[in-house]
């Protein structure tokens, strides 16, 4: 009996598929089908990006019974296409860096044809596109983050303005935008008299004992020019604070059904309600797309990259330079290492002594991502191992090292009785 040898190196995974090269005003599409004789057929068309034209493209694909589609896009130009095709066929969004075309044959049509060919043989790896609900959460949390960063920027502008006008309120109060600081800013904006009695009436709690110091700090060269700038800055700050509050209230409403998950994430050191909302808005509430915790950490850029050639290990720097989830977890890690008695704090200082602060904090963020994965994927609850865990774990190792050092010095260690 002779055994048939399979000489097929690259199998056809999707006999019918389509590749799209998406731009702002034009889409190049290459549809691959199979005729009755089993021969591969290519049909290339170009479409506009208005909704009516996208619907025409959808009808063309559904009429040809296309089950899967891959598209290459920059920026957000893929989203209108995804809005039309979502739910009708599988859509794969690919990174343009991963599908470089043949040099010297670069056109939009060639790109779509090359993309369709790679998809037909299952050689494309799609980007993570969460479901519509999670995408809406993501837009809200990212906008809240942008507003928060802008708010901090405008608060720094107020500090700078006060320095130029010889106003030293922030040298007395711990928070310039606390209750007392806000009241004093209102006095400056309203052109009120800066008397000791007026300042005392606006000081709160312990700052009432520092009325004379507050009075001295608010005396300066504050002119009408500074007042005009200050009023505009405060109005902008109030607007940002109002928008942040509205987004937070909306996120609380949208995530009300997942309160238990957010509560379990909140148990991790460094994570509060807002950061928990930001985390689930980036990775979803099921993690079905991530096969393991290592895949999640790699996707977020929290582990070293692989770069080896000719037996030589080159730079292990990750290819993921700037990832929203990585940014969130790094901030969470900095907060986590400040909690006394926690495992993350002990591990951070152990790594910091050997690898430096930045690499150590990324390692802590990596460990937090693993905890997040188990909490979301398996429904676990967080359990802090404590700062003594590392000491107990390495007890015998340290003991053997001490015995070795003692022997080199000519001594034998004997366990103490009792």
Return the pLDDT at 305.
Answer: 77
How would DSSP label each residue in 67-107?
-EEEEE-STTTHHHHHHHHTTTSEEEEE-GGGSPPPTT---
Q: Which of 110-119, 277-286, 313-322, 348-357 has the lowest mean pLDDT?
A: 313-322
Mean pLDDT of 187-193: 87
Beta-sheet strands, E only, within 217-343: 308-309, 312-313
Question: pLDDT tier at 291 (50, 70, 90 boundaries)?
Answer: very high
Question: pLDDT tier at 208 (50, 70, 90 boundaries)?
Answer: confident
The yes-or-no verdict on residue 395 having pLDDT over 90 is no
The yes-or-no verdict on residue 252 having pLDDT over 90 is yes
Tens-digit pLDDT profile for residues 103-153: 666 788 888 888 999 999 988 888 899 999 999 999 999 999 999 999 999
Return the pLDDT at 100.
Answer: 65
The yes-or-no verdict on residue 411 having pLDDT over 90 is no
Return the pLDDT at 414.
Answer: 81
Identify the residue with better confidence: 399 or 171. 171
Give the integer Cα–Cα distance in Å for 198 and 68.
Answer: 71
Question: pLDDT tier at 315 (50, 70, 90 boundaries)?
Answer: confident
Token pair listed for 391? 């000491």
State CA 390 to chain mean position distance. 29
Return the pLDDT at 255.
Answer: 95
Question: pLDDT tier at 1 (50, 70, 90 boundaries)?
Answer: very low
CATH of domain 17-120: 3.30.420.10
The yes-or-no verdict on residue 335 having pLDDT over 60 is yes
Q: Are strands 26-34 and 17-22 parallel, antiparallel or unpaired?
A: antiparallel
Return the pLDDT at 39.
Answer: 87
Return the pLDDT at 56.
Answer: 96
The yes-or-no verdict on residue 4 having pLDDT over 60 is no
Q: Are strands 26-34 and 40-48 parallel, antiparallel or unpaired?
A: antiparallel
Give the integer Cα–Cα distance in Å for 133 and 154.
Answer: 32
How would DSSP label each residue in 198-219?
HHHHH--GGGGGGHHHHHHHT-
Return the pLDDT at 105.
Answer: 62
Closest CA to 113 of 40, 189, 32: 32
Per CATH, which fold does 134-256 belong to?
Answer: Helix Hairpins (1.10.287)
3-state secondary structure 258-288: HHHHHHHHHCCCCCCHHHHHHHHHHHCCCCC
Cβ–Cβ under 8 Å, residues 125 and 307: no
The yes-or-no verdict on residue 7 having pLDDT over 50 is no
The domain spans of the chain are 17-120, 134-256, 258-305+322-418
Mean pLDDT of 276-301: 94
Mean pLDDT of 352-379: 94
Return the pLDDT at 101.
Answer: 57
Distances (CA, A) of 264 to 261, 272, 302, 364, 367: 5, 10, 22, 19, 16
The yes-or-no verdict on residue 87 having pLDDT over 60 is yes
Which H helix or E strand runs over 149?
A: helix 132-164
Mean pLDDT of 334-339: 96
Name every residue whose Cβ is closer than 8 Å to that of residue 11 and which is 6 or more positions away in sequence. Answer: 121, 122
Return the pLDDT at 102.
Answer: 58
Distances (CA, A) of 397 to 102, 400, 416: 55, 5, 18
The torsion angle over the Cα atoms of residues 304, 306, 307 and 311, rounded to 10 degrees, is 120
Question: pLDDT tier at 9 (50, 70, 90 boundaries)?
Answer: low
Looking at every residue in the chain, the average pLDDT score rounds to 89
Question: pLDDT tier at 340 (50, 70, 90 boundaries)?
Answer: very high
Token pair listed for 61? 């694909």
Identify the residue with better confidence: 103 or 70. 70
Mean pLDDT of 268-280: 96
Return the pLDDT at 5.
Answer: 47
């Amino acid at each position: 009996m002779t055994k048939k040898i399979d000489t097929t190196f690259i199998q056809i995974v999707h006999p019918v598929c389509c590749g799209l090269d998406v731009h702002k005003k034009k889409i190049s599409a290459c549809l691959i089908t199979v005729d009755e004789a089993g021969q591969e057929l290519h049909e290339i068309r170009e479409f506009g990006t208005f909704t009516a034209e996208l619907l025409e493209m959808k009808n063309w694909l559904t009429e040809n019974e296309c089950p899967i589609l891959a598209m290459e896009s920059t920026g957000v130009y893929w989203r209108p296409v995804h809005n039309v095709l979502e739910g009708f066929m599988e859509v794969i969004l690919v990174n343009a860096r991963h599908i470089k075309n043949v040099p010297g044959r670069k056109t939009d049509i060639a790109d779509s044809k090359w993309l369709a060919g790679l998809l037909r043989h299952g050689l494309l790896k799609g980007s993570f596109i969460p479901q519509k609900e999670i995408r809406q959460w993501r837009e809200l949390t990212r906008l809240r983050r942008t507003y928060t960063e802008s708010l901090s920027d405008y608060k720094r502008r107020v500090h700078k303005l006060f320095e130029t006008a010889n106003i030293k309120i922030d040298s007395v109060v711990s928070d310039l935008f606390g209750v007392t600081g806000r009241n004093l800013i209102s006095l400056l904006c309203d052109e009120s008299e800066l008397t000791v009695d007026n300042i005392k009436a606006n000081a709160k709690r312990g700052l009432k004992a520092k009325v004379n110091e507050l009075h001295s700090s608010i005396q300066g060269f504050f002119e009408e020019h500074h007042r005009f700038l200050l009023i505009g800055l405060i109005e902008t700050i109030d607007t940002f604070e109002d928008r942040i509050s509205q987004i937070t209230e909306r996120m609380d409403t949208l995530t009300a059904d997942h309160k238990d998950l957010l509560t379990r994430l909140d148990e991790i050191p460094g994570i509060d309600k807002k950061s928990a909302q930001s985390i689930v808005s980036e990775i979803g509430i099921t993690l079905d797309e991530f096969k393991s915790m290592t895949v999640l950490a790699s996707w977020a850029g929290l582990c070293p990259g692989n770069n080896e050639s000719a037996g030589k290990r080159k730079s292990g720097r990750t290819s993921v330079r700037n990832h929203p989830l990585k940014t969130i977890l790094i901030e969470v890690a900095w907060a986590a290492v400040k909690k006394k008695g926690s495992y993350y704090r002990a591990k951070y200082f152990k790594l910091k002594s050997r690898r430096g602060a930045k690499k150590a904090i990324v390692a802590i963020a990596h460990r937090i991502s693993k905890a997040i994965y188990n909490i979301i994927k398996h429904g676990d609850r967080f359990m802090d191992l404590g700062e003594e865990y590392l000491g107990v774990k390495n007890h015998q190792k340290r003991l053997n090292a001490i015995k070795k050092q003692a022997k080199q010095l000519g001594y034998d260690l004997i366990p103490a009785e009792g």
